[in-house]
Amino acid sequence: MIPYGRQEITDDDIAAVTAVLTSDFLTQGPRVTAFENAVAAKVGAAHAIAANSATSALHIACQAIGLGPGDLLWTSPITFVASANCGRYCGADVDFVDIDPATFNMSADALEAKLIAAQKSGRLPQVVVPVAMCGQSCDMRRIRALADTYGFKVIEDASHAIGGSFAGAYVGRGDYADITIFSFHPVKIITTAEGGMALTNDAALAARLRLFVSHGITRDEGQMVGASEGPWYYQQIALGENYRMTELQAALGLSQLDRLDAYVQTRRQQAAVYQAALADLPLTLPFDGPETASAWHLFVIRLDDAASRRPVFEQLRAAGIGVNVHYIPVHLQPYYRALGFNPGDFPLAEDYYSRAISIPVYVGLTAAAQLQVINTLRRILT
Ligand SMILES: *Cc1c(COP(=O)(O)O)cnc(C)c1O
């Protein structure tokens, strides 16, 4: 089976990880700090806090902002459930903003319309989580302008988008988002097995992210209530978690980061091959806008005929092509249905879902395997 995505592990990666096993630190050592600094330097952010997953990073981002019961978080229905769940972990309510069908991202027009309505009804969101779907940045300039007008914080879920760019700058530089989140799950652009990171240019938010990633404990006397009692002393000043990344993960991430630009380049080439080879089929190809350069975590085709999605999907799987669907609209998950969401609430997201198939794109996808994907799709759809 040709998977829809998978990691690449090199001899350098293996050497970097095995070296950690015989070093002094398996966790809480120098490699996590080095990985944080390297990612921050790469994308141009001031601060980076590593975590054991992007899900954890999203959670501490909400905590750092102070999201709590009675508050409201909005995100896109077309995302992994973690983009919404982070609000629920904090006891906040979650709502969704429908997508722009051209990009599959949260529509800035729909966001503005919903904000105008929310202001009238007296309940604006505290946090909005735009998701850089497939590696393509959202319209971050407009989302930032809306954040400044309506007073919410922006947590950009860029789990798909490390190495991608918006308006000429790497995603994560923090020109528009208060906090940007990366995922290092094996199907993402670079991997640490499990892992994530929160980036920000705001020193106060960075200090709070640092606190929540490790129990709410500080060793910084400046943060303590009263004076330090000695060199051993620490204080728990908030209720945090143990979401720390290990040294093994950080060593893998540091090694992988060296190949980030080459990886994204390879994905862009594969995307261009699909764009040319599938253009005449009865489907809509993904669109990369003039201001964005996608990292192409996913390559999603949308079939003209939604009724054929399941049979086409099954024929592709039967032919050894490990296609997938990203994503089932989050508001249609039973957990969210039980909170009051219904089919029809976000019609553009639901229409997208009914037609979408993710086809393979990853660094180890050979030209021959990609041709097999193309030929199989052409055989099924023509
Ligand atoms: C993968 C993913 C996450 C969660 O990442 P983990 O590192 O697996 O926790 C969150 N949001 C989006 C959009 C993702 O694709």
Structure token pair of residue 37: 């600094």
| Mean pLDDT taken over the chain | 98
Mutation to probe ligand 1, out of 59, 80, 96, 162 (largest number of atoms < 8 A from CB): 80
Q: What is the mean pLDDT of residues 339-361?
A: 98
Atom of ligand 1 nearest to the CA of 184: 7
Q: What is the mean pLDDT of residues 127-141?
A: 98
Q: To which residue do tokens 């997208």 refer?
A: 352
Distance 326 CA to ligand 1 centre (A): 12
179 bridge partner residues? 155
pLDDT of residue 79: 98
Class of domain 2-257: alpha beta
Residues near ligand 1 (Cβ within 6 A): 53-55, 79-80, 82-83, 131, 157, 159-160, 183, 185, 196
Share of the chain above pLDDT 70, in %: 100
**Cβ contacts of residue 17 below 8 Å, gap of 6+?**
248, 251, 252, 255
Which tens digits make up the pLDDT trace of 226-247?
A: 999 999 999 999 999 999 999 9
Q: What is the mean pLDDT of residues 123-130?
A: 98
Q: Is this prediction's pTM over 0.85?
A: yes
pLDDT of 194 strictly over 90? yes
Task: State how far the Cα of 295 lies from the Cα of 263, in Å rounded to an integer.
Answer: 9
Q: Cα–Cα distances in Å, from 16 out to 23, 32, 79, 135, 162?
A: 11, 13, 33, 27, 21
pLDDT of 260 strictly over 90? yes
Mutation to probe ligand 1, out of 104, 185, 300 (largest number of atoms < 8 A from CB): 185
Structure token pair of residue 216: 């709410």
Atom of ligand 1 nearest to the CA of 160: 15
Structure token pair of residue 280: 């005449």
Q: What is the CATH number of domain 260-381?
A: 3.90.1150.10
Find out whether 161 and 292 touch, Cβ atoms under 8 Å. Answer: no
In terms of Cα–Cα distance, which of 293, 296, 275 is closest to 284?
A: 275
Give the active site residues.
188
Distance 189 CA to ligand 1 centre (A): 12
Q: What is the mean pLDDT of residues 117-122?
A: 98
The DSSP secondary structure of 266-303, one letter per residue, reads: HHHHHHHHHHHHSTTSSEE-----TTEE---S-EEEEE
Domain ranges across the chain: 2-257, 260-381
pLDDT of 274 strictly over 90? yes
Distance 279 CA to ligand 1 centre (A): 30
Task: State how far the Cα of 281 lies from the Cα of 378, in Å rounded to an integer.
Answer: 7
Q: For residue 288, name the pLDDT band (cuts at 50, 70, 90).
A: confident
Q: What is the DSSP letter of 73?
A: E
